[in-house]
Amino acid sequence: MDEDRSPSPELNPVSVSEDLTPLPNLKRAGKADIDFDGLLDQPLKIHEDVRSGCGGQTWPAGLVLGKHLLRYHKHGLQGAKILELGAGGGLVGLAVARGCVGSTLLLTDQDEMLQLMRHNIRLNEVGSTVGALVLNWYVPIGMGPSTILSGEPLPDDVVQQRPDVVLAGECVYFEPAFPLLMKTLHDLFELNEDAVVYFCFKKRRRADMQFVKMAKKAFVVEEPLDEDRPIFSRQSLFLFCFKSKRAGGTSKHSARPTGINGEGEGKNGS
């Protein structure tokens, strides 16, 4: 499914600003049909356009996360209020909107991605259950080596939504942003200590594991069962689920995939 895709973003300390310009190693604008290895009856239509940033194309971690959710949480997310961080073109969230029954969803990213998220919502005709808005994990203040990063409070729409499920695919690639992404996750657990975060990223350098260290200190971190784990692990892809320590690691929208032990949902969420 993803063999024609570029590898994940380069780990250049200036990658966030580069994300705002066309990157030669990324794909051109175009439309991809993605059915997550047959888990969606009708493929998602994803318009890709990297002119607004690296989120303008789909990435391996988003594909793994989307497939995991479709396969193991098709019915388990019923009634869930879902928020996607760093949604890019919306691959993961839109897969959930199309394949998981009865959830409502907010796709979020930086301002540059807003039009693409909205475009893909329209393409897939899921506007009645999915919205898009800007949620910055941080704002750069100043320029050059003296740049500092400052966190932003959660937008009002997110505070009102009080998400119980948070999705993040391929959001670990810029080390200075790790504390700010952590702060955003903290704020989301403050809002709802029963929330569960599904988090998938591709490790490209050792520093990426610092994020996992930080997460393990702050949250209950689990590795949900997934029959593809041996395959994606070999590609340095990590799939985790975070829960609040205060909630004792429990959540209504359990991270434990059903179906593995023959109970709950079937392998294909049936």
Q: Does 120 bind ligand SAM (CB under 6 A)?
A: no
| Member of 23, 39, 61, 132 binding ligand SAM (CB under 6 A) | 61
Q: What DSSP letter does each residue of 182-241 carry, written as one string?
A: HHHHHHHHHH-TT-EEEEEEE--STTHHHHHHHHHHHEEEE----TTHHHHHHTTEEEEE
Q: What is the largest CA-CA distance in the chain?
A: 55
40 or 92: whose CB is closer to ligand SAM?
92
Contacts of 99 (CB under 8 A, 6+ apart): 36, 39, 40, 69, 70, 74, 269
| Residue 244 touches ligand SAM, criterion: CB under 6 A | no
For 211, counting Cβ atoms within 10 Å of its Cβ (0-12 exposed, 13-18 middle, 19+ buried), the class is buried
CB distance 253 to 80 below 8 Å: yes
Q: Pick from 110, 120, 192, 258: which binds ligand SAM (CB under 6 A)?
A: 110
> Of 44, 54, 80, 106, which one interacts with ligand SAM (CB under 6 A)?
54
Is 137 known to sit in a ligand binding site?
yes
The least CB distance from residue 128 to ligand SAM, in Å, is 22
88 is in an annotated binding site: yes
Here the tokens at position 30 are 């175009």
CB of 12 to ligand SAM, least distance (A): 13
Site for ligand SAM (CB under 6 A): how many residues? 24
Quick check: 239 binds ligand SAM (CB under 6 A)?
Answer: no
- The yes or no reply on residue 39 touching ligand SAM (CB under 6 A) is no
Tokens matching residue 255: 């991270």
Residue nearest to ligand SAM (CB): 55
Site of interaction with ligand SAM (CB under 6 A):
9, 16, 53-55, 58-59, 61-62, 86-88, 91-92, 109-110, 113, 136-138, 169-171, 177
